[in-house]
Amino acid sequence: MTSIIPLYSLARLAWSLETGLRAGRPWIGILQWLSEREQDRYLKKYLPILLHKVSSGRTEEVLREEQERGSGDLLWVLFFEILLQAPRGPQKMAGLLKIFSKTADSLSKLKKQEQSLLFVPKFQTWIAISIAVIFPFVLPAVSGGLFPSFLTLGRYDLFCTGIAVLVFGFLIMHFLCRRPQRLLKPMLSISFFFQFMSVYLDVGFDFATAWMKASSAVQLPSHLQRQILRSGLNVESTEEFLEKLSHTLPAPWPSLLTGILWARTSGLGLSEYLQEVSEKETQRLLFQWKDEVRKLTMLTLLPLSIFIMVPTLFLLVGPQILTVMK
């Protein structure tokens, strides 16, 4: 999730806005104060640009433009959607920012933890790359007599075999390191879907309109998007539509949709309920993400030992053995 500014800076900005709004300060005034005193270099660079655009008097238009700039990042889009709710009142906006800052902060910490846990296998991989480049190419070029390689011995077949296995190992490591994000990012979009719905309901849209707008804003997997965006909500009652979806969509949708039906039936505040559902679903997925990252540190040992270390040793020791045999 790449936005205009890093995730931790966006979380810090949301938290600062939330605390300032609860103290009774206007959000533009908070941004002005931050632009003059904030030490975060990304915010220090971005906030004056945003304030300069807002000062033209086209506040809503500017916020929409900034939202479209980071349209590929759901957190960025959601942040500006919350800012667009300023006319609803500072306390309502502060409540939305509080949930948003928690989500952004949790994702930022998870990114750092993921980098920390994957440091060892990535470091070992880069060491293997360095050795595979230095010994077969650099050292034979400097002193071919002391450091023979398959290239200097004319065994191009053995050299290509070692390099091919090494490249295969690098590809496996690359796809394994991307596995947690590839598996769980689509599921994380469910949490953002309910956050967008909560915001749209707070604005005053009816349930059907909020559902359609949230579906369009969130990049759900295509097979889910087709079912959620179908026209059934316009011709069926909301209860019938949600009931049908709860029987066709995969987990965790059935339990979440059943909860929405219960909230509508019992008279609970639907927007507040969706905020709570979104927060719990985010925490569940973040825990699952951490678990996947921990498993990944063990899974990388197999390709690292077989497809990277073994061909690296083959490229290093093989020419020496071949020379001795001759």
Taking residues 207-230, report their average pLDDT. Answer: 79
Q: Per-residue pLDDT for 132 more than 60?
A: yes
Longest alpha-carbon distance in the chain: 87
Is residue 74 within 8 Å of 218, Cβ to Cβ?
Answer: yes
- Which of 25-39, 139-153, 281-295 reaches the highest mean pLDDT? 25-39
Is residue 315 within 8 Å of 135, Cβ to Cβ?
Answer: yes
Residue 117: which pLDDT band, with cuts at 50, 70 and 90? Answer: low
Single-letter residue type at 125:
T
pLDDT score for 20: 92
Classify residue 155 as left (phi > 0), alpha (psi -120 to 50) or beta: beta
- Is the pTM above the cut of 0.85? no
CA distances from 176 to 62, 130, 221, 284, 293 (A): 40, 21, 21, 22, 10
Closest Cα to residue 216, out of 198, 205, 228, 231? 228
Residue 2: which pLDDT band, with cuts at 50, 70 and 90? Answer: very low
End-to-end Cα distance, the chain: 56
Q: Which residues contact 220 (CB under 8 A, 6 or more apart)?
A: 186, 189, 190, 193, 228
Cα 286 off chain centre by: 11
Q: Per-residue pLDDT for 231 more than 60?
A: no
Single-letter residue type at 302:
L
Q: Per-residue pLDDT for 1 more than 50?
A: no
Q: Per-residue pLDDT for 112 more than 80?
A: no
Supply the DSSP string of 113-124, one letter for each residue.
HHHHHTHHHHHH
Identify the residue with better confidence: 120 or 310: 310
Task: Please name the residue that has the structure tokens 């071949």.
Answer: 322
Q: Per-residue pLDDT for 160 more than 70?
A: yes
Closest Cα to residue 202, out of 281, 99, 69? 99
Residue 289: which pLDDT band, with cuts at 50, 70 and 90? Answer: confident
pLDDT score for 304: 79
Taking residues 93-99, report their average pLDDT. Answer: 84
Mean pLDDT of the chain: 80
> What is the C-alpha separation between 283 and 99, in angstroms, rounded?
11
| Phi, psi of 189, deg, nearest 5 | -65, -25
Is residue 140 within 8 Å of 151, Cβ to Cβ?
Answer: yes
Upstream peptide bond of 252 is cis (omega within 30 degrees of 0): yes
pLDDT score for 16: 92
- Which of 170-184, 239-253, 261-275, 285-299 reaches the highest mean pLDDT? 239-253
> What is the C-alpha separation between 63 and 77, in angstroms, rounded?
10
- Apex 54 CA angle, 49 and 55, nearest 5: 100
pLDDT score for 128: 67
Q: Per-residue pLDDT for 106 more than 70?
A: yes
Taking residues 317-322, report their average pLDDT. Answer: 83
Tokens encoding 92: 């309502």
Taking residues 242-263, report their average pLDDT. Answer: 86
Q: Per-residue pLDDT for 119 more than 80?
A: no
pLDDT score for 30: 92
pLDDT digits (tens, 9 = 90+) for 18-65: 999 988 899 999 999 998 888 888 888 999 989 988 887 788 888 888
